[in-house]
Structures are given as structure tokens and as C-alpha cells.
Amino acid sequence: MSGSSPERLDAHRFSDPALLAQALRHRSAGTPHNERLEFLGDALVNLFIAETLFARWPQADEGALTRARAELVRESALAPIARTLELGSKLTLGPGEMKSGGHRRDSILADALEAIVAAIYLDAGFEACRAAVLPWFESAIEALPPPHKVGKDAKTRLQEWLQGRQKPLPVYTLISESGEEHAKTFHVSCAVTDLALVTEGEGASRRAAEQVAAEAALVDLEARRAKS
């Protein structure tokens, strides 16, 4: 997929269009490709997000800030932003990646987004880069749960809820498993006897099923709290 060396991306017009062209060039298409820019862009994105969270969550501890940043900068969070910017159609890919649908792959899109960030930085400097990039993350930042809940899975949150109220820990029991060896479904229960609470969950692994059951328990507990 060969691009036309665009000069503008979203809110930034490049003084040096070659930087944008390189940021959009995957290694499968030859050199100069975007891997070095990706390295720099990764550091910049982490800094921008860390700075923003630090300012917005003055009471959050280091652990909560670290987990929130990880949520926002992981591949599965960056790829949707790249799609919003329509980077897939702008990428320059080699024949193999073109045939395999590389322009839709999360890893390639996330890498390209980081490379774009670096290209903007090199083209216009730190302040201009931050001003262009942070709006891309605004909705994701706004959607984050409270600091103490960020990045914690349902089993951990349920355990902490119970411990905070001096209640016994939940007991997870495998009810059944079905399906072929390579595609099993696990059915488990989550019981908190002290609260007369039993929920169930299914998943492709026992751990995944336990997470579903724990999430159901948390929903139930929240509903009870709302009624009280």
C-alpha cells in the first residue's frame, strides 16, 4: 500500500513531509521505516499521559498512576486512535503485509501512531507535539474509572471489597467444563457465604470464568449497596 507522502495529519501540518512519510512506512516496505520513530514516540506518549494523570489525579498514588498510564498506552488502546486518524489507509506496506491485511493489524497501527507522535515532535517541538497529541487521548482519559479501581481485575476488586469489610474471601468452584480440548468452556461459581451471595460465570479458561463470576458478584454487591 503505497502512500502519497501527505503533509497534514489531523491538527498538524508538517514542515518536513518526509517525517510523516517515514512515520507511515512499515519496515516491510524498506527503509527509511518507522521503527526508530516508534521508539521515540513511545517515550513521548508515556510522558504526555504521565504528566496529564499526575495533574488530574493529585491524590492518586504511584501504583494507580502507573496502572492508568498502562491502560492508556497499551497496543489495544493506541490502535483505535490510529483508526480514528485513518492511519491504516495511509500506511506504506510491503507486498506481504498488504496481502495479509497489515493495515488493519493492531500492532502495526499502534506502532505507526507512536511513530507519528515522534514525527510531530521532530517537526515542531515538544509543546506543539503535546498540543496535537493529547486530544487524541481525551475521551479515553475521561472514561477511566476512579484511581483506586484502574487496572485491577474483578477478582482483585472483589477480594479488596470483602477484606475492607472483614468478610471472608470468596470461594470459587468449578461447576462443569465442556467442549473439545482446544475449545473448552468452563463454568464456575463464586460464593461469599457470609453474605448469602452466589454468582456464576463462563469462560474459555477457569480463570476467565472466575473473573466473570467475580464481576457478577461486584454488580450484585453494588446493587445491594444502592438499595440500602
| Binding residue positions for Mg(2+) | 38, 111, 114
Is residue 42 among the annotated active site residues? yes
State the catalytic residue, choosing from 42, 71, 97, 210: 42
Can you say which residues are annotated as belonging to the binding site? 38, 111, 114
Please enumerate in sequence order all residues whose Cβ is within 8 A of that of 104, keeping only pairs 6 or more positions apart, or say none.
88
Q: Is 9 helix (H, G, I), strand (E, B) or coil?
A: strand
* Cα 217 to chain centroid, rounded: 25
What is the rounded CA–CA span in Å between residue 130 and residue 175? 51
Quote the cell numbers at residue 39: 521508539
Is residue 114 among the annotated active site residues? yes
State the catalytic residue, choosing from 114, 123, 210, 215: 114
Active site residues: 42, 114
